[in-house]
Amino acid sequence: GEISNGGMLYHEVQESKLCAVHCVNTVLQGPFFTEFDLAAMASDLDQTERQMMMQGSVTGDFLPELSHNVSLGGDFSIQVVEKALQVWDLQVIPVDSPVAGRAQVDPETENAFVCHLQDHWFCIRRVNGEWYNFDSLYAAPEHLSKFYLSAYLDSLKGFGWSIFLVRGNFPTESPMSSSNDASSCYGQWLTPEDAERITKSSNATTLRVVNGRGQQQQEDEDLKAAIAASLLD
């Protein structure tokens, strides 16, 4: 699952509600998909579900005019994220399923995790032996120590996040720019040093911001403080 990319980290900063696109691309570490690709997959999945409904093999509250796989606001379902990653021969497994095995105890033995809560998706990924949080709400990938990784995933679970691990043959090379320029406008390549510098400076600024993402930032800070305290016990 190691990726070369000359030691660079691929990060996408949040664009409208495209966090599922950012999540998939940071798992793959490159500008592989656009929102149009994911929308087409959502439409295929909806089509399949409708056919199953008509054949009576699925029952439920399926309303033909509503999509189960993309909301009006542009949020994609786990099925779409799974389908996009399957294109690259990657499996998405809930971390609490028996198949996950050791990942529950030793997450650092894996390569990537996908985290989902309500309408936000993000990826935590190992690149060149180091773990990073590629949350698209962050200005740059945030480095996570192996020790912190496990505590962080546990605390996300505690806050109600769904966590999935991604297994399979990750692409080892990525197009440094996509054939479709639509996705490269929010994607960027950073060295680990650049990422650290941006993270430090954005943390310093965001702490001063009380509106906007101030609330989320405060929760992040509270979470970090709680984890730090638990590590001292």
pLDDT digit string, tens, across residues 147-185: 899 999 999 999 999 999 999 999 887 666 544 444 456
- The CATH class that applies to domain 5-189 reads alpha beta
Per-residue tokens: 38: 């994911």
Q: pLDDT-based confidence at 35, cuts 50/70/90?
A: confident
Predicted pLDDT at 123: 96
Predicted pLDDT at 125: 97
CA distances from 163 to 29, 116, 159, 177 (A): 19, 6, 11, 29
CA distances from 185 to 53, 57, 148 (A): 39, 42, 32
Least confident interval from 132-141, 195-204, 221-230: 221-230
The H or E element spanning position 166 is strand 162-168
The pTM (predicted TM-score) of the whole model is 0.76
Domain boundaries, the chain: 5-189
DSSP string covering 70-139: B-TT-PBPHHHHHHHHHHTTEEEEETTSGGGGGGGT-GGGSSEEEEEETTEEEEEEEETTEEEE--TTSS
Asked if residues 190 and 130 have their Cβ atoms less than 8 Å apart, the reply is: no
Predicted pLDDT at 43: 78
Selecting among 23, 37, 123, 135, the annotated active-site residue is 135
Predicted pLDDT at 140: 95
Predicted pLDDT at 73: 52
Selecting among 23, 115, 120, 123, the annotated active-site residue is 120
CA distances from 168 to 2, 28, 112, 172, 178 (A): 11, 11, 10, 12, 22
pLDDT 10s digits, 104-116: 889 999 999 999 9
Contacts of 204 (CB under 8 A, 6+ apart): none
The average confidence (pLDDT) of the chain is 80
Per-residue tokens: 221: 């800070």
Selecting among 11, 19, 22, 116, the annotated active-site residue is 19
User: Among this protein's residues, is 19 annotated catalytic?
Assistant: yes
Predicted pLDDT at 208: 44
93, pLDDT greater than 70: yes
Predicted pLDDT at 132: 98
CA distances from 226 to 74, 129, 182, 205 (A): 33, 26, 39, 22
Predicted pLDDT at 206: 57
CA distance 33 to 24: 8
